[in-house]
Structure 1
Amino acid sequence: MATPVAEPSAEKDVAIEMVGEQVCPTDPTVAAKAVRKIDWFLIPAMTVGYGLVYYDKAILGSAVLFGMTSDLKLSVPDPQRPSVVDTSRLSWATSLFYFGMLAGLYPMSFALQRFDVGKVLGIIVCLWALICMLTAAVTSYEGLYAQRFCLGFIESVIPTAFMTIITGYYTQQEQSLRQSWWFSSTGIWTIIGGGLNYGFAQITGGGLHRWQYIYLLAGSLTFLFGLCCFAVPSSPVSAWFLSRDERLAAVERLRFGQTGVRCTQFKRSQLKEALLDVKIWLVFIMMASAYTVNGAVSGFGPLIVSTFGWSTLESILFQFPLGGLCLMTILLTGWLGSRYPNIRIPMLIVCCLPVIAGCALIWRSEWSHHAAAPVIGYSITGTFGAVVSLIITLGMSNVAGHTKKSFTAATIFVAYCVGNIIGPQLIKSQTKPAHYPELWLGLIICYCITIVSAIALYAVLLRANRSKEMKCEEDTSERAKLAFQDLTDKENPYFRYVM
C-alpha cells in the first residue's frame, strides 16, 4: 500500500509532498546508490566552484608581485616619511571585496531560498565571471576599489548556497565530511593557483601585463562553471539525476535527523529566533576570529614571504606547503567528524594551536636572508583551514528550519568577511623592521578568542541536549511527523545538537 502523502503547503518542507508525515519504507541499497550519485554530482562541482572563489581572492596577493602595485599605484611613498612605502591602498583593495560580500550575503541568501537554486546560481556566477575579467581593464586604484566591491557582492552567493545545499542533501553525521570536501578547495586551489601563477610569472612580452592574464584566466574558468550551475536542482526532491525511487530514498533517510530539506517561504519567527540564538553568535565570533588569518597571511602571503629574502617566484612556490597542510587537515577533520560523534569542537581547539605557534614563530624568529624559521611558521598556519571548516560544519549542523538555516549560512560568512576585513588592516608597512608586531599579536589574540568561544559553544550545546532529553520521551510516530514541518532546532523536541 502506498504511503499517504500530505497536502502540499508553502509553510512546510518540500519533502513532505514526496514522503508524507509517516515513515516511508525504502531499500537501503537504493539509498546508498542515491548518496553516491549525489556525491558525484554535487561535490566535484562545489569543489571547483569554491576553489574559483578562493583563487579569485588569493590572486591579488600574487598580482601585486607582478606589477599591479605600480600599475594601479597601490603602494606609494608615505608623505611624512618618503623612505617608507605606504601599502594602505592595497589593504583597502583587499578589504573592499569583503565589504561587497557583506552587502550581498543576506539578499543572495533570500534569493536562494525563494527562487530556483540552479537559475540563481547560473545567472549570478556568469555575471561574476564577467566582473572578474574586467579587472584586466582597470587602470587606477579607484577603479580597482569599485571592481573589488562589486565582485564581492556577486561572489557572496557561493558559500551560502553550498552550505545550505549540503544541509538539504545529507544527514547531520554526513555533513562534516561533505562540508570539508568542498571547503578543502581552499587548500587545493592554493596549490593549483600557485602553479598557475608560477607559470604566468614566465610570460614575457605580449600586449598585457602578467597580472592581467591571471584575471582573464580566472574569469574564463568561472564562466564555464556558471554555465554548469544551471543544472543544479534545488533539493533531492527535484534532483533530475536520480530515479524516483532514489529521490524517495534520498529524502526519507533525512527524516531521523530532523534537519529538513527545503522550504521556500520566508518565516519571520525563524529569523527572530536566529537573531536571539546564542549558538549562532558564538559561531559568528569563532568565524570572525579564525578568518583573520586568511585576510592577512593568505592574501598577503607571497608579499610577506618575499620579505624573508626570497624572490617573487620562490615566494609563490611557498604557497604549496601552506596549501597542502590546509588541504590535509580539512579532509582529515571532516572524515573524523563524520566517523566519530561529538569530537568536532575538540578537534577545532587542537587545530587552533599550530596557528598560534606559527604566528609566534614568524614574529619572533630572525628574518635573515632565506630564513627557514619564519617560512616554517608561515606553512603551519595552514591548519586554519581545518578550524574554519569545522566552524562551518558546527554552525550548519546545529540549526533547523530553512529560514533559520539561510540566515545562519549568511551570518557565518558575514563573520568570514569581518575576519578578512580586519586581517589586512593589521599589516602596517612601517612596522616591517619590527616584523609586523600588530599582525602576529592580533592573530594570536584572535585564535585565543576562537578557543574560548568553542569551549562556550560546547557547554551551550551539551546543556541544550540534556534539557531536550529530560523533557521529551521518544514517540516514533510523532518524530516522523515533525521531521518535515520546517520546524527550527529549538521548536523540534527531537532535534539533537552535534558537538
Structure 2
Amino acid sequence: MGAPSAAVTEIEHAPPPDADADRDGTRSGTHQQAHKGGDEDEEGNRGGRDIAATFLAKNAAGQRIRVTAADSARVLRRIDVVILPLMLTVYFLQGLDKATLAYASVFGLLQDTRLAGDQFGWLGSIVYLAQLVMQPPLAWLLVRLPIAKFTSAMVLCWGISLACMAAAHNFGGLLATRFFLGVFEASVAPSFVAITQMWWRRREQTVRTSYWYAMNGITNMFGSLITYGLGHIESELRSYQIIFLFFGIITVAFSFVMLTFMPDSPIEAKFLSDDDKVIAVERLRMNQMGVISREWSNDHLKEALLDPKSWLWFALLFSISVPSGGISTFGPLIIETFGFDRFRTILFNIPFGFVQFVATIGGAFLAQKIKMKGPVIALLCLPPIAGCVMLMVLPRDASHRAPLLVGYYLISVYPGITPLIYSWASQNTAGDTKKKCTNAILLVGQSTGNVIGPLLYTQNEAPGYTRGLRSNLGLYIAIIVLVGITTAYLKMLNRDHATRRVALGKSAVIIDTSLDAESPQAAETENARNVEEGDAAIGAVYNDEMERPGDRAFENLTDMQNEDFVFVL
C-alpha cells in the first residue's frame, strides 16, 4: 500500500528504520544502548523494535507521513466510537463487581455468614492482595500476549468468580472467591493504561483515562439503584446472593462482546482501513512512546526499577489508594452510622458517585487545558481534607445528618486523583517493556494501599472510625508534598534532555505537539516549527540525513534513552 493520499499534506523523507548514525557518521551512546541486544528476524527487524516501525516501513513506503487535522479527527472519532465504549463498559462492570461486597453488607451478608471483628475488612483487602501478587507476572504477560484477547479472558474469569460468591456461606468461602476475583481483575487497570497509550495522543489520553475511570462514579450511582431494586426481589435466594449472580452473569456475557470487537493494536484493527491504520499510528509519533513490541527487554525492566519516577508514582498511588480502599469498602457502613436504614443508606450513596464522576472528568479537562497534572492533583486533595475533618469532629446524631453527608460527599472528590496519576505516569514513560513494568510498580503501590485501607476501618470503631479517617487525612496532605517533589524532578529531567540534545547538535527546545489541540491552526504551527530555525532555537531545518523529533518514536526507546522525549508536568 502506498502513502494515504487523503491524509497527506506533506510527505517528509524519514531516515530508514535502522538508521543509527548521528550527524558525524558515528553512533551515539544513546543509540547504541537503544539497539543493544536482539537479533534481526526474517523481515530485517531487530528483536524488540516496535511493530509500528515495521508496519510504517511496509505501508508508508518508508516515508514519514504528515496527517491533516481533519483526517486525524476522523480516525480519532472511529477509535472513540469502537474502543472507548468497550473500555467504559468493562470498567463499569469491574467497579460493580468490587462494590457488590459493600452493597451486600447492608442486605444481611454480615449476619448470615457470621462475620466478626476485622473479617469484613479482610474481604475488602483480599481482592487487592491478589492484585498485588499478580502485578509482576502481568507485566510480562501484557508485553508478550495479545492484549485484547488476554483482557477478555480475564473478564470472563472474574465474572465466573463473582457468580460463585453466591454459593459462599462463611468467611472462608467468601475469602476464597474474593481472592480469585482479585486475581482476574488485576489485569484491568494495567491493560487499560496500555491500551490508552497505544490508541490516543498524549493530549487525548488524560481525558480518555478519566472517562473509563469515571465509571466508578457511574457504578456508585446506578449500582446503588440496581442494588436497591434487586434487594426488593422476593426469592428463596438471599438478596446478596441475587446481587452476586446478577452482576456475575452480566460480566461473563460481556467478555464475549469484548473478545469480538476489541483489536489488539491499531495495526490489527478491522474497523480501520489500511490508510486509516497508517494515520492511527502516525498520529502517535510525537508521543515518543511507541505502540507495542511484544518483545521483553531486561534493560527496560532494569531501567524501570532504577528510575526514581517509578517510585514517585508508586508513592502517589499508594497514598491515594489507602483512603480509596477504606471508603470503597466501608462507605455504606459509614452512611449507616448517620442513622439511616439500609435502603436509605444505599440511596444516599448515589450522590457520592455523582460527585466522583464530576471530579474525575472535571479534573481531567482542567489538566488537559493547563497541560499539567501536578497542580490539579494537589487541588483535588483539598475537598477530601475538609471532608475528613468534618467526619472526625461532627457528632453522630440526627441534628448533624446533613453536615455529615456533606463531609462524606466532599471526601468523594478523591477518585479524581487516581486517573491523573495513571496518565501522569504513562505519559512520562516510553519503551514497551518499561511501560508495562512501570505500570506494574505503580499498581503494586495501588494494591498495597487498597489492602491496608479497609484494615484501618474496623466495626469495633463504629460509628467514628477515627483511625481510618485520621490516616486518610495525613495521606491527602502527603500527596500534595509528593506532587511538588515529582514536578521538580520532571523539570530537572527536561533540562537534562535539553543538554543532551545540544551535545548531539540538535535544538535545545522541542515543542511537544502531542499535548496540542487538534486543529488546522495547530497543524500550521507545527509545520512552521519544523521548518524554521531562529535564535530562540525552537525548531530546525532538516534534510534527509538529519534526525528530527519523532524520527525515533517507534524504535522502542525508553524515555531516558530518547533525548527527544519531553516530560509532562
Same fold flag (TM > 0.5): yes
Q: Provide the secondary structure at the position in 2 that maps to 1:286.
A: helix
Matches within 5 A, 1:181-200: 181-200=211-230
Please say if 1:18 is aligned against 2:55.
yes
Identity over the aligned pairs, expressed in percent?
A: 31
Match of residue 247 from structure 1: 277
Letter in 2 for 1:495: F
Letter in 1 for 2:423: T
Match of residue 165 from structure 1: 195
Matches within 5 A, 1:413-492: 413-432=443-462, 435-472=464-501, 473-474=506-507, 477-478=546-547, 479-492=549-562
Q: Provide the secondary structure at the position in 2 that maps to 1:497.
A: coil
Matches within 5 A, 1:14-413: 14-20=51-57, 23-75=64-116, 86=117, 88-204=118-234, 206-230=235-259, 231-342=261-372, 344-369=373-398, 371-413=401-443
TM-score, with length taken from structure 2: 0.83
Letter in 1 for 2:425: G
Letter in 2 for 1:57: K
Letter in 2 for 1:19: L
CA deviations on 1:54-77 (whole Å, 9 max, x unpaired) are 1111121110111111121113xx
**CA distance in 1 between partners of 2:146 and 2:500 (Å):** 39
Report the number of matched residues. 485
CA deviations on 1:207-244 (whole Å, 9 max, x unpaired) are 21000111111111111221022132121111111111
Q: Which moved more, 1:194-203 or 1:130-139?
A: 194-203
TM-score, with length taken from structure 1: 0.94
Letter in 1 for 2:480: I
Q: Provide the secondary structure at the position in 2 that maps to 1:482.
A: coil
CA deviations on 1:157-213 (whole Å, 9 max, x unpaired) are 111110001011111121111111111101111101111111122223x12100011
C-alpha displacement at 1:22, in angstroms?
5.2
The structure with more radius of gyration: 2
**CA distance in 2 between partners of 1:28 and 1:9 (Å):** 33
Letter in 2 for 1:361: M
Q: Provide the secondary structure at the position in 2 that maps to 1:25.
A: strand
Conserved 8 A contact 1:310-1:369: no
Unaligned runs of 5+ residues in structure 2 are: 4-12, 18-43, 508-539
Conserved 8 A contact 1:23-1:480: no
Conserved 8 A contact 2:289-2:431: yes
Conserved 8 A contact 1:175-1:338: no
**CA distance in 2 between partners of 1:359 and 1:151 (Å):** 30
C-alpha displacement at 1:152, in angstroms?
0.2
Conserved 8 A contact 1:262-1:402: yes
Letter in 2 for 1:448: I
Residues 55 and 113 of structure 1: CA distance in aligned 2, closer, same or farther (over 3 Å) = same
Conserved 8 A contact 1:185-1:327: yes
Match of residue 495 from structure 1: 565
C-alpha displacement at 1:350, in angstroms?
0.5
Conserved 8 A contact 2:86-2:262: no
**CA distance in 1 between partners of 2:146 and 2:294 (Å):** 9
C-alpha displacement at 1:468, in angstroms?
1.2
Letter in 2 for 1:199: G
C-alpha displacement at 1:257, in angstroms?
2.0
